[in-house]
Structure 1
């Protein structure tokens, strides 16, 4: 897998589900290539949202970054992904991850070893989507002669979210791509790239993982003030590099640093106070025209 240069946007789940349709239509109209969804507890469901977004559009790709593994049996996750992929071939980018551990605890789904779960879950998910018949009896994943009746014609790439060194290495071992959390700096992207490559090499896998990173941005004349206020709310005052601000040209220069560090896709994240989503998505498209 060679390095790509993709730009996308995020539909943040601070917004209600009924706001999704206008956002995906605005993204497609603006020429944004990818719109990513979060399955935060206890907000929008990932696969119902993705299916609706794909049905409303013709070209837009929808990323799920991420669906928490503890919430879904791997066979159910494979069924959901296969169904959406068959209906909208090549337009879904599925991603899975540990989930926020406190949320997993709230619903009785927290596991003692998230790393073990990922090590068992992601290969099983990829195998089922490839049409394989699986029997496995791991610590968390148990399958007895399971085959999807309707596997996709082409299995989609599976991304796994990582933040700590052990998880980043593991995403290289078992996944096709890695999703890096918002607030990750270009230097941290470069360090993550090395860890992911180490994991991939240790597993004897060729090529490279697709690296997706979320980057918070604010467009417009009041961008710096809005960013400063948001950093205060995030307890990150004094770290202005956490949010890119300004016009499309300035933000494009910041995005270039992420590509140079090894990111393949930079997904621009609106601040929670963003009130002009169509304008934000237009800004994302303008950034994309400058860097892709």
Structure 2
């Protein structure tokens, strides 16, 4: 089961891929099954407003597959009461032990404002949410009178047998330090450069020292990837969409060799799971899963 361990040994690099939520939910089944059949390490889902639910999609993907690990990165905490998040994660990990990885984070602040959930202090909210969530998933009875998280003797009747890994999405310096201190791992957004990964690792380690954390802290990163027909043109559209001056250092377009070399580069900087993020208009999402699992991953591990 994926959970918290005291090991400080860095694991083997894992290769995943994203089911981008610009695809309709009914497409998930065929993509998840293609990923499972191809032997992909991890399939990642996003709870982006106002596209698709992370937990609902994760449960469906896990139920439709046999061995696939499914990640959700991330659940925006302003939208979620921590008790509900704990109940959902406990249920998820009891139904599918060892097959889910879930991260929480600030969410996009403009989106949070649209639904009336924008916090005055996102940092305080994330700290309180993560702290309470860890305790609840550990089977503790929690009372908290924080600025945002208020619980009165709350305990899960069905906590997971072992507290699962809790990831935090982070970009800013303070959030990276907080992730090192309170979370078990960190998710870095697509477009994060190699140098930014190295800097993120340093900030995470500052937080780990502050929190006296000694277990290994895995880092997950999304990597923009385009392959196959019109790969260069689709990647250029991504560059424009995300506002990069260049895609160099932010992503890669090309075949398996080029993508595997990029994965190795980011892994050498401190990333443990590189999740290939296809363009929303990728012509073959099922084929992309097989590309990641059967063409890229073997080259990364050789």
Q: 1:47 maps to what in 2?
A: 55
Q: 1:290 maps to what in 2?
A: 299
Q: 1:104 maps to what in 2?
A: 112
Distance in 2 (alpha carbons) for counterparts of 1:233 and 1:10: 18
Q: 1:2 maps to what in 2?
A: 9
Per the alignment, in what secondary structure is the counterpart of residue 249 of structure 2?
helix
Give 1:19 deviation, angstroms: 0.8
Q: 2:134 maps to what in 1?
A: 126
Give 1:237 deviation, angstroms: 4.0
Give 1:221 deviation, angstroms: 5.6
Equivalent residues in 2 for 1:149-168 (5 A)?
149-168=157-176
Give 1:119 deviation, angstroms: 1.1
Q: 1:59 maps to what in 2?
A: 67
Distance in 1 (alpha carbons) for counterparts of 2:224 and 2:247: 13
Give 1:30 deviation, angstroms: 1.1
Distance in 2 (alpha carbons) for counterparts of 1:68 and 1:158: 14
Q: 1:241 maps to what in 2?
A: 249
The structure 2 residue matched to 1:172, chosen from 169, 177, 180, is 180
Give 1:32 deviation, angstroms: 0.5
The structure 1 residue matched to 2:199, chosen from 191, 196, 220, is 191
1:213 aligned onto 2:221:
yes
RMSD value, Cα:
1.1
Q: 2:4 maps to what in 1?
A: none
1:273 aligned onto 2:296:
no
Could you state the TM-score of these two structures normalised by the residue count of structure 2? 0.94
Structure 2 unmatched runs, 5+: 1-7
Please tell me whether the aligned partners of residues 200 and 208 of structure 1 are also in contact (alpha carbons under 8 angstroms): no
The structure 1 residue matched to 2:145, chosen from 137, 140, 153, is 137
Give 1:186 deviation, angstroms: 1.3
Give 1:172 deviation, angstroms: 0.4
Please tell me whether the aligned partners of residues 35 and 60 of structure 1 are also in contact (alpha carbons under 8 angstroms): yes
Please tell me whether the aligned partners of residues 157 and 176 of structure 1 are also in contact (alpha carbons under 8 angstroms): yes
Relative to structure 2, which stretch is displaced further, 96-105 or 201-210?
Answer: 201-210
Distance in 2 (alpha carbons) for counterparts of 1:155 and 1:201: 22
Distance in 2 (alpha carbons) for counterparts of 1:62 and 1:266: 14
Give the number of aligned pairs: 292
Equivalent residues in 2 for 1:6-25 (5 A)?
6-25=14-33
